[in-house]
Amino acid sequence: MKIEETHDDETVDHPVTVISETRAGELARVVDEDKHAIGAMLVGMGAMTPTEVQAVLERQDGDERLFGEIARDMGVVSRTQLDEGLAAQFNAPFLSADLTRSLSPNLVAAHRPNHPFVEELRALRHRLSREWFDVPHRRCLAVCGVGRGEGRSHVAANLAALFAQRGERVLLIDADLRNSSLRSLFRIPRTRGLAGILAGRSSRRPIKSITAVPGLSVLPAGPCPPNPSELLAQPLFSRLLAHVGPRFGVVLIDTGAAGESGDAQMIAEAAGAAIIVARRDHTPVQALQRLAGDLTGHGVTVPGIVYNDG
């Protein structure tokens, strides 16, 4: 996947920081003092006892391997326990296997956080935070694309999970009222969802919290209505975004194929900004340019285009 900006950036020279020998010595002492922190983490979690930690430390003398590697070889800690301890040590998100079973394998950000696709999305998250969400009152962003099979829902779901993993309160709205797919990604029970809200037939709690990804909530599309464009064109949709915006730090909206209806255009205009998802050797270039032009021509900010390689 490649992320391409939709405007020219100036080149900025970044200064290089030189670490003096004195400073290097201070850093070395800090590292040395903290090298057993993972043992303390594992004891605090109940994964190891202080006696087991001491036994690992004794074996570590003269051994260049890391504490965790030795502890695993000794059989005193499991891979899952070690991963959880490391996540706590570095303030990183950790999802146990029991939690991730409730999510589709396509939610790569939860199952394989070090996957190259996820790293690319982290770069996109950083750019969006800097160029859109950091401005007050900017909370909503649509995820658009020309046709089907380009990965809009895939990008929207994983990007939402990454924002939540950073500590944001995130709402992911499935506004593809024609071919919704987010419910299956998060394995959410059937609900009236967004379509029900727009039709005035909302269920009691249409927004579902995703236990496996703390901080993430999803508003599913609900059943496919016979009049999706009419529902999305109502002022009620814009009022819904204005209502949820202050309650969530980030609101991402999955849309239908822009080449098949005007739904995505209406959603992007209500959100104020959109990223465009395209697939290499699949999305026609002229159609992609037309969509970008249509969005910007109607006042929609387009921070970038996401190219899927797969």
Residue 163 maps to which CATH number?
Answer: 3.40.50.300
Residues above pLDDT 70, as percent of the chain: 80
Task: Confirm if 95 and 212 have CB atoms less than 8 A apart.
Answer: yes
**Among the three residues 48, 67, 92, which one is the final residue of a domain in this structure?**
92
Taking the CA atoms of 48, 49, 50 and 53 in sequence, report the sign of the dihedral they define: negative
Q: Are residues 254 and 193 in the same domain?
A: yes
**Residue 16 lies inside a defined structural domain of this protein:** no
* CA 108/CA 213 separation, integer angstroms: 12
User: In the predicted model, is pLDDT for residue 24 greater than 70?
Assistant: no
Tell me what the pLDDT averaged over the chain comes to: 82
Task: Confirm if 235 and 163 have CB atoms less than 8 A apart.
Answer: no
Q: Are residues 285 and 233 in the same domain?
A: yes
Q: Are residues 67 and 180 in the same domain?
A: no
Q: What is the pLDDT of residue 203?
A: 67
More confident residue, 23 or 63: 63
pLDDT confidence band for 42 (50 / 70 / 90): confident
DSSP letters spanning 69-90 = HHHHHTTSS-HHHHHHHHHHHT
> Ranked by mean pLDDT, which of 42-56, 79-93, 128-142 comes out on top?
128-142
CA distances from 201 to 193, 244, 303 (A): 9, 18, 35
Q: Which residues pair with 273 in a beta bridge?
A: 301
**Residue 236 lies inside a defined structural domain of this protein:** yes
* Cα-based angle 185, 187, 190 (whole degrees, multiple of 5): 115
Q: Are residues 220 and 266 in the same domain?
A: yes
* Of 263, 298, 250, 2, the residue nearest 145 (C-alpha): 263
**Among the three residues 47, 65, 92, which one is the final residue of a domain in this structure?**
92
- Residues 6 or more apart whose Cβ sits within 8 Å of residue 48: 39, 42, 56, 71, 76, 77
User: In the predicted model, is pLDDT for residue 39 greater than 90?
Assistant: no
pLDDT confidence band for 101 (50 / 70 / 90): low
**Residue 246 lies inside a defined structural domain of this protein:** yes
**Residue 279 lies inside a defined structural domain of this protein:** yes
| Residue pLDDT, tens place only, 219-254 | 999 999 999 999 999 999 999 999 999 999 999 999
pLDDT confidence band for 217 (50 / 70 / 90): very high
Q: Are residues 115 and 68 in the same domain?
A: no
* CA 92/CA 81 separation, integer angstroms: 14
**Residue 100 lies inside a defined structural domain of this protein:** no
What total of structural domains would you count in the chain?
2
**Residue 97 lies inside a defined structural domain of this protein:** no
Q: Which of 25-34, 96-105, 277-286 has the lowest mean pLDDT?
A: 25-34
Q: Are residues 285 and 170 in the same domain?
A: yes
Q: Which residues pair with 216 in a beta bridge?
A: 170
Q: Are residues 151 and 279 in the same domain?
A: yes
Residue 190, Cβ neighbours under 10 Å: how many?
10
Q: Are residues 45 and 180 in the same domain?
A: no
| Residue pLDDT, tens place only, 152-199 | 999 999 999 999 988 899 999 999 999 998 998 888 888 889 999 999
**Residue 13 lies inside a defined structural domain of this protein:** no
Q: Are residues 48 and 178 in the same domain?
A: no
What mean pLDDT is predicted for residues 8-27?
39
More confident residue, 4 or 282: 282
Q: Are residues 66 and 215 in the same domain?
A: no
- Residues 6 or more apart whose Cβ sits within 8 Å of residue 215: 164, 165, 167, 168, 169, 170
**Residue 10 lies inside a defined structural domain of this protein:** no
Q: What is the pLDDT of residue 51?
A: 87
Q: Are residues 45 and 154 in the same domain?
A: no
Q: Which domain holds residue 245?
A: 108-308
* CA 66/CA 57 separation, integer angstroms: 10
| Residue pLDDT, tens place only, 52-90 | 888 888 888 878 788 888 888 888 887 767 666 665 555
Q: Are residues 269 and 188 in the same domain?
A: yes
More confident residue, 141 or 57: 141
